[in-house]
Amino acid sequence: MLKVDQLVKKFGGMTALGGVSLTLPDQSILGLLGMNGSGKTTMLNCINGLYEATSGEITLDGVSLIGKSPHAVFSEGVGRTFQVPRVFHQMSLLENLSVALLNKGLSNAEVAEISAHWLNKVELYRLRHNYAEELSGGQQKLLELARIMVANPKLVLLDEPFAGVNPGLALLLIRIIREMPKEVGCSVLLVSHDLTSVYELSDNILVMHEGKVLAEGSAEVIQSNPDVIEAYLGA
C-alpha cells in the first residue's frame, strides 16, 4: 500500500505541492486529475525519487521512500513512465527491457522469457530487434510500460499514458492497465487528462488544484462535485 502523508514540495518560493495526502491500496488504480501545473507530475517525481520532498512522508508497504535515489526506489518496487516516452533509443526493444532486469539476479534465459512475454503483451514482439527510436510515439509508450512491468513492480506510476497515442493503441493501453493489478498484483497511480479513460479505469479518483487535493472519490462523486466542475471540468 502506498501512503503519502502531508507531502510538501517547494521550488524556491513556489509551492508545487502544499501538503498532499493520499492512500493507494494494493491492487487498485487511483486516477490523478488536475489542470496543468496542479502538481500531478511533481507528485510522481517525489514518489520515485527524482525530486526530494521538502517535507512529508511517502511509504510503500511501510517502507519510507523519502531520501532514496530513483534506482533505490525502483528496487523497492516502484516503476514509472513519463509524459514524453523516454526509451533507450539506440538499444533494441529486447535490450530496453533487459535494463530493468539487470539487478534482479535472473539468468539470460529468464530475462529473455520475461521480455518476450511483455513484448507480446504490448504487441511489439515482432519488432524486438529494432532500435527503440524506430517506433512511433505510441509504441514507445507501450515499450516504456513493458519496460517497467518486466520488473514485476508493486506500484506503477503512469504519467499521461494516453497523450499522443492513436485510438487503437490507446485501447490496447487501457486493456493492459486494467489487467495489471490482477495480473501482476501491482497498484497504479494514473495521471491523465483523458477523463474518459481515468473514469473507466480508476477505482478511486483524486483531483488536484494548485498543489492541493481538491476532491477525492469515485468517478460519479468527482463528476458531480461542484468545486471540481468549477476548477477543472467546466460547466
Q: Which residues are at the interface with another protein (CB under 8 A)? A: 48, 50, 69-71, 74-75, 79-80, 82, 86-92, 94-96, 98-100, 102-103, 108-109, 112-113, 116-117, 120-121, 123-126, 128-131, 134, 147-148, 151, 175
Output the smallest distance, CB 155 to another protein, in A. 13
Q: Which is nearer to another protein, 134 or 230 (CB)?
A: 134
The residues with which 5 forms a beta bridge, in sequence order, are: 57
Output the smallest distance, CB 233 to another protein, in A. 32
The residues with which 18 forms a beta bridge, in sequence order, are: 8
Output the smallest distance, CB 68 to another protein, in A. 11
Output the smallest distance, CB 32 to another protein, in A. 18
Alpha helices in 122-166 (DSSP H): 137-149
In three-state secondary structure terms, 26 is coil
DSSP-assigned states of every residue in 31-98: EEEE-TTSSHHHHHHHHTTSS--SEEEEEETTEE-TT--HHHHHHTTEEE--SS----TTSBHHHHHH
Query: What's the one-letter identity of residue 201?
Result: L
Output the smallest distance, CB 75 to another protein, in A. 6
CB distance 162 to 173 below 8 Å: yes
Output the smallest distance, CB 149 to another protein, in A. 11
Q: At what angle do helices 137-149 and 108-121 cross, to 10 degrees?
A: 140
Q: Which is nearer to another protein, 96 or 225 (CB)?
A: 96
Q: Which is nearer to another protein, 141 or 147 (CB)?
A: 147
Non-local CB neighbours of 214 within 8 Å, separated by 6+ positions: 34, 207, 208, 225, 227, 228, 231, 232
Q: Which is nearer to another protein, 8 or 50 (CB)?
A: 50
Q: Which is nearer to another protein, 186 or 213 (CB)?
A: 186
What span, in angstroms and rounded, lies between the C-alpha atoms of 224 and 226? 6
